[in-house]
Structure 1
């Protein structure tokens, strides 16, 4: 875990985020689509939202770094500025001298990094950033441009240093340390009482996926305890859908799923695929770890978006890496609960008897082999012709939105030993076409809500939201035109 992170470093990471370098919060994605998922448990809602923009000049007060040989370099650079000013009391230190001093520190940082001293490299960049802030925003255009160029260089160097630092951290920890405090104990009590059935049912479902997830996470150099995240995200339900329209075991919203390679079209939604969504979750967690460096803050950012967490850190103006629980007090309530809720899960599964649980049987993993299907066929018809059960085919292929293969070659998961029968059955079946929806246009009247409109047209709120790319059901206004999906026809 990183040792120190000054306010200037956090400010620069914010600058990187807002300027498009490194990791953005959540890019604009495609509109959510409607499903008929299993009833989902009470789950935390990842909030995908646009990156927060910060004014480049806004910066917390300079944190006094510890005394070190590098401090001497910073003092020397600043001393040169003071000497330049003493030559004429009516003249401020030249902007050029300020920028030269910052360049010296950037060069020193590069030398420290090459020597393997990351902490001193970061400290030098921190001091360089403090120095370039001395160039006023109303300086001549050339000086301002040079200042922004240096800011960009410092930001890029910081991201490079942090990326290498966190990659080395990732490979070490086998477990996430469990802190038991009032926040965690509160979540444990909930699992022991009002959420006991949810916990036990989720634990039972976990057996179908958790060992595979743990291996994938372990192979990526991360703590395999992260394989328990789907318990609080989705209750280990492949089709869990939150009010924030996050879907699947790992609760990806469409834009974040797209960012991490999950396809979504008329036929498939890979957020529903256990293996593919786990690979995407690993990539996202790795990216967040490169930004924050500690798993507590990473999980908070996974839940509500890195932009939200960076904003709280910026407002906090303290070294947040020293104590996550200081950050905890300033996070949105649902996000604040997320990490202690995860620790509560770890505490229970590692010592169930201590907390009054008996954790015995779990669902078994579903073995499968691949059958390549070249044409669109419905799984129900395919099951009838091949001798498989529809339940098995549907459980093995949850990403198929219509429970049908697409029109292009598709790797269908099938029970072991059934490949030839499934391929032969698919070739004999007629092509299947997805249902077509018909729409009417409705002009919203004063006082109407999506609920009243849905009742009027015998449809659902989710279908109306999907048809109109609405992210919230509370944003319609009088006079607005909405497409209303009616009934489905084949």
Structure 2
């Protein structure tokens, strides 16, 4: 790219409202602006400091205070970020000139940051942020000028036509069945999209993702109607535990998807780019954009060739879906009546209940409650408070029928240890060493023959779990468990605390009003523990082992391990509180 000097560089802030009204200028200026912003990575200077005077009455971020004397890199980065925030606020207020002038100031601050290998990524991120803000401003003007019928432009090119041919041909049955299932969830999805201000066309994305199946699981371990991988699900508030995975909950996963899509659109300012990022990740799309000659202003189809095969089909499949449902007759499709949404009520339960038992007691068809509560991984409610969806037609009978059900104790949670196969190992010796069975190891690792393991292979080995104590069938469900306070240390997690103290992640979160799984060092956590009331505790000292503690306290190693939900391979650390059973 050609370097731009101070005198010849086009300026964001020098574009007055008069010349922005010209259609030619509206179409060409964004390219020049981005060349000025991104092109300077090659060493050219793209900002004319005199142009700051053209800002509207000083309403923009005041850059003059930042150029008086040299300051350290951290201050320059902080001031540039502050300028970006000010530019965003001015844009939202309708002050386009002031916003662009402020972005000029932010870029001038960026140029003052010294060349330091430790700051390369921060400078690149800041440069990218400034360019995105400039592009968002001009893109908003282009959208208004184009007067699009939909925020998501429907372009039927060869790639989209190819997916239309698949949906109307070999994948016709999949499309029709998915369309039928959409009726159960689309009214809810459309309502949430409208509330968030997102285009209603996005309500058809689950057809491409999962065929509107709440329990769809991909080869990449993406789960649910909106196909969240575990890390992205956690990032957008979808919790997981032994009994619950909220990625399979249609309402909660829709909230997460809307939040994620909104973030992606805010990042790229373009729905096609946002959809590609939803499938393959925003970082992959960013890398492709940065490799383009013009940069972020490139259209989705300009980076199409660099996308993974799945993503390259994903966006055309979505556009093909929208095209077909808008005008099925044009593509030789006759779409059936969608399934109606099931009317339900929510009832709070306080003990373990098996959904199959409830179906029978309430005279419902098999798996009715599984369909309404897909987030329950094993068809069982948690032992603590849980909002259960039941058909509205049987809600009045619920309490009476549940009271007559016997107590249910779910099977213990299965945990796994990782084991690397050594020379001479067999599944039998590994099973004996870990106190499990050959069949359990084979199932966990999908091994077809007990003789097919190799040295160096990594296996998941099932460990013995712990079951939840029985709650009385007619009790209110509030178990009276002793409580302790734990101070969070480095390396702690809710899962570790739940395992250590014989509790559950859900119970700890409810008792502490936690909305996410994040913990802060020094945070005080209340924990109701299953360990016997009145038992003593011991604080682990440097050099301690479970064997030494057991010998000093005149207890067996097995009792201490059992009281603290530990295995023989578990590590203890200085400062850890160990329960000493009576």
- Say yes or no: TM over 0.5: yes
Structure-to-structure mapping, 1:222-301, within 5 angstroms: 222-301=198-277
Equivalent residue in structure 1 for 2:398, among 402, 422, 440? 422
Task: Sort the Cα spacing of 1:313 and 1:361 in 2 relative to 1 into closer, same or farther, 3 A.
Answer: same
Please list the CA deviations of residues 371-392 of structure 1 after superposition, one character each: whole Å capped at 9, or x if unmatched: 2111101011122223333321
Equivalent residue in structure 2 for 1:6, among 34, 37, 61? 34
Task: Sort the Cα spacing of 1:128 and 1:459 in 2 relative to 1 into closer, same or farther, 3 A.
Answer: same
Do the aligned partners of 1:60 and 1:317 also contact (CA within 8 Å) in 2? no
Do the aligned partners of 1:270 and 1:276 also contact (CA within 8 Å) in 2? yes
Does 1:125 find its partner at 2:107? no
Do the aligned partners of 2:110 and 2:127 also contact (CA within 8 Å) in 1? no
Please list the CA deviations of residues 52-93 of structure 1 after superposition, one character each: whole Å capped at 9, or x if unmatched: xxxxxx93576969x99948879xxxxxxxxxxxxxxxxxxx
**Pairs aligned (count):** 405
Q: How far apart, in 1, do the equivalents of 2:251 and 2:202 lie?
A: 15
Do the aligned partners of 1:106 and 1:124 also contact (CA within 8 Å) in 2? no
Q: How far apart, in 1, do the equivalents of 2:81 and 2:365 lie?
A: 68
Does 1:137 find its partner at 2:115? yes
SS at match of 1:418: helix
Do the aligned partners of 2:87 and 2:102 also contact (CA within 8 Å) in 1? no
Q: What are the ranges of 5 or more consecutive residues in structure 2 without an aligned counterpart?
A: 1-25, 56-67, 431-436, 447-452, 468-582
- The residue number in structure 2 matching 1:81 is none
- The residue number in structure 2 matching 1:482 is 459
Task: Sort the Cα spacing of 1:326 and 1:412 in 2 relative to 1 into closer, same or farther, 3 A.
Answer: same
Do the aligned partners of 2:420 and 2:459 also contact (CA within 8 Å) in 1? yes
Please list the CA deviations of residues 324-379 of structure 1 after superposition, one character each: whole Å capped at 9, or x if unmatched: 21022221221122111100000111011111100122211111011211110101
Task: Sort the Cα spacing of 1:112 and 1:250 in 2 relative to 1 into closer, same or farther, 3 A.
Answer: closer
Q: Which has the higher contact order (CA 8 A, sep 6+)?
A: 1
Equivalent residue in structure 2 for 1:409, among 366, 376, 385? 385
- The residue number in structure 2 matching 1:370 is 346
Q: How far apart, in 1, do the equivalents of 2:226 and 2:285 lie?
A: 19
Task: Sort the Cα spacing of 1:334 and 1:405 in 2 relative to 1 into closer, same or farther, 3 A.
Answer: same
Structure number with greater Rg is 2
Deviation at 1:232, TM superposition (A): 0.4
Equivalent residue in structure 2 for 1:357, among 319, 329, 333? 333
SS at match of 1:412: strand
Deviation at 1:264, TM superposition (A): 0.8
Please list the CA deviations of residues 419-458 of structure 1 after superposition, one character each: whole Å capped at 9, or x if unmatched: 2322222233233222234879764369x9x9xx9xx955
Structure-to-structure mapping, 1:107-118, within 5 angstroms: 110=86, 114=90, 116-118=94-96
Task: Sort the Cα spacing of 1:298 and 1:441 in 2 relative to 1 into closer, same or farther, 3 A.
Answer: closer
SS at match of 2:184: coil
Task: Sort the Cα spacing of 1:463 and 1:119 in 2 relative to 1 into closer, same or farther, 3 A.
Answer: farther
Q: How far apart, in 2, do the equivalents of 1:461 and 1:165 lie?
A: 58
Do the aligned partners of 1:101 and 1:128 also contact (CA within 8 Å) in 2? no
Deviation at 1:122, TM superposition (A): 4.2
- The residue number in structure 2 matching 1:470 is none
Structure-to-structure mapping, 1:458-477, within 5 angstroms: 458=439, 463-464=444-445
Do the aligned partners of 1:109 and 1:124 also contact (CA within 8 Å) in 2? no
SS at match of 2:368: helix
Does 1:207 find its partner at 2:183? yes
- The residue number in structure 2 matching 1:398 is 374
SS at match of 2:306: coil
Deviation at 1:480, TM superposition (A): 5.0
Do the aligned partners of 2:96 and 2:137 also contact (CA within 8 Å) in 1? no
Q: What are the ranges of 5 or more consecutive residues in structure 1 without an aligned counterpart?
A: 12-57, 75-93, 466-475
Q: How far apart, in 2, do the equivalents of 1:483 and 1:174 lie?
A: 49
Q: How far apart, in 2, do the equivalents of 1:440 and 1:148 lie?
A: 37
User: Could you say what the CA RMSD is over the residues aligned between the two structures, in angstroms?
Assistant: 4.9
Q: How far apart, in 2, do the equivalents of 1:285 and 1:104 lie?
A: 27
SS at match of 2:152: coil
Deviation at 1:195, TM superposition (A): 1.4
Q: How far apart, in 1, do the equivalents of 2:151 and 2:128 lie?
A: 31
Do the aligned partners of 1:393 and 1:413 also contact (CA within 8 Å) in 2? yes
- The residue number in structure 2 matching 1:334 is 310
Deviates more, 1:304-313 or 1:320-329: 320-329
Q: How far apart, in 2, do the equivalents of 1:383 and 1:328 lie?
A: 49
Q: How far apart, in 2, do the equivalents of 1:101 and 1:403 lie?
A: 55
Do the aligned partners of 1:184 and 1:340 also contact (CA within 8 Å) in 2? yes
Deviates more, 1:257-266 or 1:148-157: 148-157
- The residue number in structure 2 matching 1:51 is none
- The residue number in structure 2 matching 1:304 is 280
Please list the CA deviations of residues 208-229 of structure 1 after superposition, one character each: whole Å capped at 9, or x if unmatched: 1112211111111000110000
Deviation at 1:101, TM superposition (A): 12
Q: How far apart, in 1, do the equivalents of 2:366 and 2:206 lie?
A: 25
SS at match of 1:484: strand
Do the aligned partners of 1:109 and 1:121 also contact (CA within 8 Å) in 2? no
Do the aligned partners of 2:276 and 2:311 also contact (CA within 8 Å) in 1? yes
Structure-to-structure mapping, 1:181-200, within 5 angstroms: 181-200=157-176
Task: Sort the Cα spacing of 1:240 and 1:397 in 2 relative to 1 into closer, same or farther, 3 A.
Answer: same
Deviation at 1:310, TM superposition (A): 0.8
